[in-house]
Structure 1
Amino acid sequence: MGQELAASQLALAVRGAANSENPELQRRAGMLPDLLRFAPPRPATTLGELSSPATVRPWQARDWSPSFPGSDRLTFSAAPALDAWRSAAFAFGSHGSVGSNAWAVDPTRSASGGSMLAVDAHFRLTSPAPLWLVHIQISNDRGDEGPFVAGAALPGVPGVAYGFHRDLAWSPAASYFDVADVYVERLDPSATAVEFRDGLVPIVSRKETIVVADAVDIVVDVRVVPHHGPVVPVLVNHQVAPLQPDVGALSVRWSGLEPMRDLEASLGMLAAKGVEQALSQVGFSPSSVRSVVVADQDEVLYVAPTLVPQRDDRASAWDAATYEGRLPCFALPGDGSAEWVGKLARTTIPVLQRPASGYVVTANADPVGGTLDNDPSNDVASDGARTFFSCSFDAGFRQGRIEDRLKSATEPLTLAEAASIQGDVRSDLASRLVPFLMDAVKRVQRERDEPGTFPLLSDLATSERFVSSSPDGWIDLLGSWEAEAGFEMRTGVTSADLSLTVDARDALASRAALLFHAWLVRLLHGVFADEMEAVGLGMQGLYAVSEGLPVRSLLHLLETPAESLASYDVQLRDSLLWEEMTTEKVESRDERLVTAWLDAMGWLGDHLGDDQDRWRWGLLHTVRLSPPDPTMGLLSIPPESDLTFPNGFPRPGGLFTVDTSAFSMARVDGSDAPRFDFSEGAALRFAVRFANQGPEATVALAGGQIADPARAHFRDGAEYW
């Protein structure tokens, strides 16, 4: 829900720039296609692409209501709900990293002669752990061994979520399909009914009691639009406020409110005798959010039976060139013109069995490539039916990197090599961005040595800040990071006592990782903050849509031919987004790139001191397994009082790495002390291979099996993890 509201708010605010009294903002009125990107930076898919986009658009007559319908009321009705959603997301540490890496290889790529499955399950990293290791062995009274199953379960939920037995291994994976819509409802004068098609539909109201231990029960008035779903409440002084006819309301329709078969599918895995049986009996069970990767002795499978609604074509009446119209990832009108008309046909369910490549990979990226052209509205399935899965999937870096590792493997994989892939910390993002920075530095140097070569860089090239910053050292550092460390992001400190490592490669990868992330934070702020402040949203307006959105937009600005950008300016010969709105001088992309690096160097120097050898990623990129309830502080791993790890354990990796360890960019703007700690990641790393003697598995759990700090097994998995 929050993303739909945030995307709608962003689109409305940017479109309002055309009517702004600020001439600089008016110049940027067409910038929305450069800010709100649907295409992933790395086009990694599981199945390949759907058939070619339809050449005939049935809605080209434009008989739908105006862009972002209900916009006159949306801003008022959405703002309280969006603020509440942001507060909840920050309180629970969620910023978009919850997902999974799941992949499997068939016997042709496995050293054991049987298939292999590996998964990293991404959750908020808590203590107690969000998953529980389980092992069930059934024997009869004669001692004969019967069925067994081992794996990890969600506490209190029946079944084994991630597991294996003699015949099968399985892992669920988040599909990221769009299975919910937010509707902007128009109310009648009494605020007791909504306008729908040619009439009014009464709002249903019911009382819901929330029992609170040792306190007074909370009674909530839940209002429901019968054909959509619950009305998003507006709270005033912790009470649900009355509906206002002039403001309208928001309702939410979600497929998860309908009966699903997730539990049946989970339990079915316990008895399935192989991939074929898993597919026929379990694979097509309707699910709210699930896809699944399965392996047996001989083959592997990916299937995504998520119940995706089939929407009225008018819900996706979108012009990708002008960014006008409707998409389900925006708030939709509740007047009956954007309704669900069924569910996508079973023939559209993404399935990959017996892949020619010998492997299946899913890491929350677009499984069928529907967003690769930046238009999620124009795809059709093999049967000719128009399909819409989602506007935005993961950026694709994790999935692409896993595929790179599998493709480049020269020998069949072992469990140890599977663990190496799970712990991969190469930054494909850095490999894309660093060359632009290096080229920009070289051009500033050339302007310094040959004045007039790049006039827009004159002030920067002659500035004391640049001249005294030893730019040749930056070039050497960044070049060595690629050549000697492959853009890996290492801690640079020991895991025993945080002392600096002496290994030159580790130190290089650590210093470069820290500088890269500090630079990226400052660069994103330097490029987008002025426009976002001018439209009244600030940088949080971008991050609320997706924490990865500014990175998508940045790569788009850098890698797309400038004249093709929506924000292209003839005089600047580049996007206006590079130019700072609040200054008299004209800034360029090279100036923004290099200034951000100088800012990052100063930022780190102010907080870490002048000895750059001590600038190590692992001192700031840390994790603490915290209890869900702050009052349970004794459960923290490491505890707050830990003298060796006062800020948490040092961790390698970073933004978009396979070893998921992304800090919240929304919390780091460069104005405060550097904060790169993270709270979401691989709560479970699990791999299993099949061999003639039976399955063999490895597992790493973030934390321990016992929620008692005094017990030996309270945290014995944390260090290994």
Structure 2
Amino acid sequence: MAELFGSFDRGQIDSDIVARTIGLHRVAKKMYAALPEGSEEKAILDAYADGISQCNARLVTGDEKLSSAMVALPAEAFQPWDGADILAVARLQSENLSFTGTEEIAQSEFNAKALAAFGTPPTNPRAGILVDLIRFAPLEASKILSGFPNDGAHTQSGSHTLPLAAAHTKPGPAVHVPLSAFAGADAFIDAERKQRSILGERPFTGSNNWVVRGARTTTGHAMLASDPHLTLSAPAVFYMVHLNVTDAQGDKSKNLNASGLAFPGIPGIILGHNDHVAWGATVANYDVTDVYSEELTPDLTAVKFKGQSVPIEKIRETIKVGGGDAVEYDILNVPHHGPLMPQIADHRPKAPDPAKGAISIKWTGMQPTNEFAAVLGFMRAKNVDDARVAMRNFEVGAQNWVFADTDGNIFYSSQSKVPKRDVRAFTGWNPSTFTGAIPAFVLPGDGSAEWTGFLDEAYIPHAKNPPGDFVATANNDQVGITFDNNPTNKRLPNGDPVYLNGLGYDAGYRHARIKKRIEDVGNRMTLDEMASIQSDARSAVGAALTSKILEALQRAREATSTTNPELAALVAGRPPALFDEIRDVLTRWGTETNYDAASGMSPENNQPVDNAKEALASKATVIFNAWLVRMIRATFGDEFAAMGVTRAPYDLRKLLVDLMTADPSTLATKEALFDDLGTTAKVETRDERIVFSLLDAIDYLNGRLGGDRTKWRWGALHTVSFDALVPLWGRLSIPPSGDPVFPNGFPRHGDGYNVDVAAYRIQVQEWKDVSFSYSHGPTQRFVIDMDPAGPKARNALPGGAIWDNRDDNPHFRDEAELWRRNKNAPVSFTHDDVKTEAESRTLYTQPQRAK
């Protein structure tokens, strides 16, 4: 990226430093070298790379043309590929799905800053801020299975119900990493997030999938729905492919007939179906990355490990920079852990200071595996049992996979390499005092918190044809290990202590909502009903917090200068009719629309809709969300400023809901976090902060949307654009830059934690001018009926089949038009149907070779 665009954006150098540090290209070369000569996987990779190389050669010669909108892309950018290049792209996708090194560093830095700002003395009312803010428990306790499976024979049906009792614990090492060790970390974290944003963003997850058996469907067939959420870009992250291949030598075991989504640069169907089996995936969120605090020797040549000095390896890297000098440097690698995080200053990597220590990163994806074999196995599976066997090759990039077959079976698994750790890495953790070690934060690098192997498949959450005849996943806690706010005190069925994850799971609202929608159908489900769940936009945060607003508003109206002078002063001078209107809108939002986060704007002409119910829901949604960002700032802004924090460790919505729905007497800080550190003359209460933020939100909306509140609509602020990957290519965005009807993007429903997530980003420093637009959502709207006579699939992508708008190509954005209206279209699968539906056909023939 730096070689291509470094002259326009020096930050691309930082992203390249991150990629080189993690070593995607190094492990890809090892993966390719490990494939046996003559293997089918290697042959396919080589053939695919050859096809890319041929196309690139034609681009260099000018025989193939790019869109004229793709400016500043030189012909020499198009180089030959080999099989290792493909595996590097695949590892990039795995990194996006499972690498959490930067999150763990950022969270640990946040912890250190909190301790430095507020300490631990009981006289400081904010000393317990970490206990109250960093909570592992979800907002809604909704799990995929009833407990860990115990499936040594690998024939699991249903799930093994096991009370998650506390395991025996012994003190673990406390890890107090000095702030000095995080010097330069912010630049590394920002660069990794920028690199990742090409595909998706964490921790704001939003993927969903579910499978339903025939007992719950109108057709009597198994059905599957899948809408993985990644970056909404142009071109789309995935594109549609149908592979129908007959082996030239007549070996039917090598035939392929699979349809679905492919990832650019990787052969095969990663999500989709064949004649017999369909599959979908959501990120499983297992913690497969650890960061370690390393003690360095004074000469920076070794680390201390188990009482010995272990030499540091040096890996030389050269980053070419367009319009500048190349960056040459050494990656410092700890052999038993991984690379040391470099300090990035002025777009140059800087070695750590031995006196301050350093942080190393270990990730399962740094060792070679063979996920492509799993994908190839999915495409040829005859039933869910075949798919399960194939899935054993999927070791990095853990997913919650769901499968349905034409025999009526459904299967769920989260198969992956999940590290087993020395119990000292987690059994001494105490969430009530925020002491001890836990793999969610920096661990000691002295050898006391090492990986000891990987979790046996028998215990990795999975189930075939479970009770209830359906399985749903939504990035949530699989078996409930975090529900008591302590993910370290659980045991496997064999009695072993286990740690799967800490802070990475979703809040639980989406999974609970999907389950409720399936269970509340009241009849056998149709494919339309399956698809309608993907469009669900109920505001879970609105449902959780609106009553708190109404209660505070009522108390403010009843306040006097004697009973509550701060509240009375806030509402003084405001017309009573304003409060009546807000109370009415927010109350009816729940009673009449069930907190539907409606857009309220027409997807056709971007004008306010006249439908009274949608208009009500839209007005309430915009008031609530304008209040939400201000309430977050009013609550956490002063503490974050005192800590010197510019970014939240994870979604601020969850922090606020946790704080506002808790009994204040149970909080370590009581109500101290609602008090503003900047106003020493008075003590702000939760009610005061709520009303202050609400009135400020109304003033903001008056200025942004106008004084006629009957025209306020959420979709006027909450929009989505599918932006071109390179900002210079704005004409290839959807809608294009400067679009006269949708200048700010398409109006959309949703506000975060909905099934159709649509979560805009919130940071405390942006509360005045937060952008309510978003860029992360479903990269397909896929539903399928597994009819034995032939699967019936529907889908829609956020884009089009052709990323080129020359001559107003109708397929540049036709899928996007379906997607943004929450619709889908049938996808032809049989040869006859494809032939009938085809607009045109291109036949490529191979010339006969002379004998």
Q: Map 1:626-645 to 2 at 5 A.
A: 626-645=723-742
Matched, 1:15 2:126: no
1:174 aligns with 2:270: no
In the aligned structure 2, how far is the partner of 1:630 from the partner of 1:446?
Answer: 52
- Structure 1 residues 459 and 256: CA distance shift in structure 2, 3 A: same
Counterpart of 2:811 (choices 713, 717, 720) is 713
Match of 1:571 in 2: none
2:369 aligned with 1:260: yes
Q: How far 1:562 moved relative to its partner?
A: 1.8
Q: Deviations over 1:527-586 (max 9, x none)?
A: 111112122214x2xx2x21x2x3223222222222111112xxxxxx211222221122
CA contact (8 A) 1:113 1:690 kept: no
Question: Structure 1 length as normaliser, TM-score?
Answer: 0.92
2:299 is matched with 190
Distance 1:712 1:244, change over 3 A: same
The residue correspondences of 1:132-143 to structure 2 (distance < 5 A) are 132-138=239-245
Unpaired stretches in structure 2, ≥5 consecutive residues:
1-100, 149-161, 820-851
Q: What's 2:509 paired with?
A: 397
| CA deviations over 1:401-455 (Å, ceiling 9, x no partner) | 111100101111111111110111111221111111111111222225xx75556
Equivalent in 314, 320, 330 of residue 431 of structure 2: 320
In the other structure, the counterpart of 1:116 is 223
Equivalent residue, structure 2, for 1:532: 640
The corresponding residue for 1:42 is 140
Question: 1:129 & 1:55 partners in 2: Cα distance?
Answer: 45
Q: CA deviation at 1:504?
A: 0.3
Deviations 1:588-631 (A, max 9, x none): 21111121111110111122221112221111111111111112
Q: Equivalent residue for 1:435?
A: 547
**What is the aligned counterpart of 1:408 among 511, 520, 526?**
520
Shift of residue 57, structure 1, vs aligned partner = 3.4
> Corresponding residue for 1:685?
781
Structure 2 contact 327–348 (Cα < 8 Å) conserved? no
Contact 1:25/1:534, CA 8 A, preserved across alignment: no
Structure 1 partner of 2:233: 126
Residue 601 of structure 2 contacts residue 609 of structure 2 at CA under 8 Å; is this kept in 1? yes
Q: Is the 8 A contact 1:178 1:308 kept in 2?
A: yes
What is the match of residue 624 of structure 2? 516
| Residue among 722, 725, 748 paired with 1:625 | 722
Tell me the equivalent position of 2:655.
Answer: 553
Task: Specify the code of the residue in structure 2 equivalent to 1:191.
Answer: L
Whether the 8 Å contact between 1:70 and 1:333 is mirrored in structure 2 is: no
Of 705, 711, 725, which aligns to 1:614?
711
* Conserved? CA contact 2:373–2:390, under 8 Å: no
The equivalences for 1:226-625 within 5 A come to: 226-283=335-392, 285-297=394-406, 298-316=408-426, 317-392=428-503, 393-448=505-560, 457-461=567-571, 463-465=572-574, 467=575, 470-538=578-646, 540=647, 543=648, 545-546=649-650, 548=651, 550-568=652-670, 575-583=671-679, 584-625=681-722
| Farther-moved stretch of structure 1 (181-190 vs 557-566) | 557-566
Q: Which amino acid aligns with 1:681?
A: G
Structure 1 contact 492–500 (Cα < 8 Å) conserved: yes
CA drift of 1:280 comes to: 3.3
Tell me how far 1:16 sits from its aligned partner: 2.5
Mapped partners of 1:691, 1:562: distance in 2: 54
Q: Give the alignment's Cα RMSD to 1 decimal.
A: 2.6
1:267 counterpart SS class:
helix
Q: Look up the match of 2:6.
A: none
Q: What SS class does the counterpart of residue 689 from structure 2 fall into?
A: helix
Question: Which amino acid counterpart does residue 152 of structure 1 have in structure 2?
Answer: L
Question: Given the superposition, is the C-alpha separation of residues 142 and 341 from structure 1 closer, same or farther in structure 2, using an over 3 Å criterion?
Answer: closer
Q: Which moved more, 1:70-79 or 1:652-661?
A: 70-79
| Equivalent residues of 1:283, 1:303 under 8 A apart | no
Q: Cα gap change, 1:217/1:30 in structure 2, threshold over 3 Å: closer, same or farther?
A: closer
Q: CA deviation at 1:25?
A: 9.1
Greater RCO structure (CA 8 Å; 6+ sep): 1
The 3 A distance-change label for structure 1 pair 234 and 147 is: closer
2:54 aligned residue: none
Aligned length: 698
**Is this contact kept in 1: 2:369–2:393, CA < 8 A?**
no
Quick one: which amino acid aligns to residue 146 of structure 2? Answer: G
1:199 aligns with: 308
- 1:205 deviation in Å? 0.5
Identical columns (%): 36
- How far residue 400 of structure 1 moved from its aligned partner, in angstroms, is 1.2
Query: Structure 1 385/261 Cα, relative in aligned 2: closer, same or farther at 3 Å?
Result: farther
The SS at the match of 1:325 is coil
Conserved in 2, the CA contact under 8 Å of 1:287 and 1:305? no
- Deviation at 1:678? 0.5
Could you tell me which residue of structure 1 aligns to residue 188 of structure 2? 81
Contact residue 589 and residue 617 of structure 2 kept, 8 A: yes
Instruction: Give the Cα separation in 1 of the matches to 2:619 and 2:515.
Output: 27
| 1:468-495 C-alpha deviation (Å, 9 max, x unpaired) | 5621111110111112211111111111
CA distance in 1, matches of 2:334, 2:324: 31
Moved more, 204-213 or 386-395: 204-213
| Secondary structure of the structure 2 residue equivalent to 1:489 | coil
Alpha-carbon distance, 1:383 to partner? 1.1
Cα distance in structure 2, aligned partners of 1:611 and 1:89: 41
Distance of 1:624 and 1:80 partners within structure 2: 27
- The whole-number CA distance in structure 2 between the counterparts of 1:30 and 1:310 is 31
